[in-house]
Amino acid sequence: MTSLFEEVAPSEDDNIPVRRVEVRLNGERRAAKVEPRLLLAHLIRQGFQLTGTHTGCDTTNCGACTVLFDGEPVKSCTMLAVQAHGHEVTTVEGLATASELHPIQEGFKDEHGLQCGFCTPGMMLAAKALLDHNPNPTEDDVRWALSGNLCRCTGYQNIVKAVLWAAEKLRDADPGAAEGGDE
């Protein structure tokens, strides 16, 4: 590969050169030396080879590249990799555990919330951010929370249903959480 990135071993060394980036990616410490201009989306996709994060535009509009950055949804095509240094990044690959899908993933499958699947990872992460804050969303809450993500296939109705399905499942699993959220 080229000078764009080179994966290196994680280390405790705080005295990090500008081009060394260390992130907690889906719970795992990963580090790389990168060109300062490298976009976070490209570090994730080409550098760390997690290709579930997609890129669909050049203008921060489509949301296909959405990841969670310290729990908040961000468009990883519009962040530099170096800005992620020291932060937590969750991608679609971090949603499921080894044995179990996340309810949002189950909901998308069960409610036919995807067709070509290209927008899906971004949609699911935007949905996760919503449900983490608001376990009891209304249809309008869901539509608003996903309005930074474009889908050309589904017409959104089933995506909305999928998120509401997941919300219900999460509430059933943890009734206490439904009271909470940070509304």
Q: Which stretch binds ligand FES (CB under 6 A): 4-12, 62-70, 98-106, 131-139?
A: 62-70
One residue of 26, 105, 154, 158 binding ligand FES per CB under 6 A: 154
The torsion angles phi and psi of 180, rounded to 5 degrees, stand at -80, -120
Q: Which 98-117 positions form the footprint of ligand FES (CB under 6 A)?
A: 114-117
Q: Which stretch binds another protein (CB under 8 A): 11-19, 80-88, 100-108, 169-177?
A: 100-108
Q: Which does 38 bind (CB under 5 to 8 A by kind): ligand FES, another protein, none?
A: another protein
One residue of 59, 98, 176, 179 binding another protein per CB under 8 A: 59
Site for ligand FES contains 83 (CB under 6 A)? no
DSSP 132-180: HH-SS--HHHHHHHTTTS--SSS-SHHHHHHHHHHHHHHHHH-HHHHH-
One residue of 16, 33, 55, 87 binding ligand FES per CB under 6 A: 55
One residue of 47, 73, 103, 121 binding another protein per CB under 8 A: 121
CA distances (Å), origin 139, targets 51, 109, 175: 30, 19, 20
Residue 145 tokens, joined: 């929370």
One residue of 47, 52, 103, 135 binding another protein per CB under 8 A: 52
Site for another protein contains 142 (CB under 8 A)? yes
Site for another protein contains 48 (CB under 8 A)? no
Q: Which stretch binds ligand FES (CB under 6 A): 49-57, 79-87, 96-104, 175-183?
A: 49-57
Residue 55 tokens, joined: 């890129």
User: Of 88 and 93, which has the nearer Cβ to another protein?
Assistant: 93
In 3D space, the residue among 118, 134, 116 whose CA is nearest the CA of residue 183 turns out to be: 134
Neighbour-count burial for 100-115, b at 16+ CB within 10 Å, e otherwise = eebbbbbbbeebebbe
Is residue 6 within a helix (H) or strand (E), and if so which, with residue range?
strand 5-8
